[in-house]
Chain A
Amino acid sequence: ETGVTQSPTHLIKTRGQQVTLRCSSQSGHNTVSWYQQALGQGPQFIFQYYREEENGRGNFPPRFSGLQFPNYSSELNVNALELDDSALYLCASSFLVAGAGELFFGEGSRLTVL
């Protein structure tokens, strides 16, 4: 089975621009979640998608949005980029069952906003 893959691995944007980050979930997984990890910090939950619907969101503004596709791949979109959006963005997939579906993380996309 394939793991979680994210693209791009690194990218640089300027303030005010928009960015799209992509995630391909592990085979068989129906849930994807996104986390933001600022330098020197632990990851912070952005949102989660289950069967193409958002079913949980952290304390992030609406300019952070996402999509999950029928093949369970996912996108994270950030509009009107700010300097503080510079971070590592981690995608995690899981298979939602009763109890804790273990999360499998990708290697992240490192975004730098200048």
Chain B
Amino acid sequence: AQTVTQSQPEMSVQEAETVTLSCTYDTSESDYYLFWYKQPPSRQMILVIRQEAYKQQNATENRFSVNFQKAAKSFSLKISDSQLGDAAMYFCAYRKRPGNTPLVFGKGTRLSVIA
């Protein structure tokens, strides 16, 4: 069974600084997706960024980027120029291809942004 591990229950960052959230996963599959989701106090899961395992290039979305190390099964999220609105729970998730398989989530990292 696939598992996703987030070893940092809580992180904090100063506004405008950079923070990296860690995620490792375990799978025997070679074709899959990895995701980072943000869950603010409103509780709605919002997709931050997606990485396809067959792509070597790391995904980026504005201030958010990932460091995908397939051999090491590591998938970290870097948030640059942190903003107060980035404060939330962040979940790393795995999804085996094809795309109608369920998401497997980690336990989450609570990110605080200090003004």
Measured in the bound complex, the distance between the Cα atoms of B4 and A97 in whole Å is 25
Measured in the bound complex, the distance between the Cα atoms of B101 and A58 in whole Å is 11
Measured in the bound complex, the distance between the Cα atoms of B99 and A31 in whole Å is 11
Given known pairs A105-B44, A107-B44, the reply for A56 and B101 (CB within 8 Å) is yes
Number of interface residues of A (CB under 8 A): 30
**A53 close to B (CB within 8 Å):** no
Q: Choose from B44, B99, B102 the contact partner of A99 (Cβ within 8 Å).
A: B99
Measured in the bound complex, the distance between the Cα atoms of B102 and A33 in whole Å is 8
The interface-forming segment of A18-26, A39-47, A61-69, A76-84 is A39-47
Chain B positions within 8 Å of A, measured between CB atoms, are: 4, 33, 42-47, 50, 91, 93, 95, 97-108
Chain A positions within 8 Å of B, measured between CB atoms, are: 31, 33, 35, 40-45, 48, 50, 55-56, 58, 88, 90, 92, 96-103, 105-108, 110
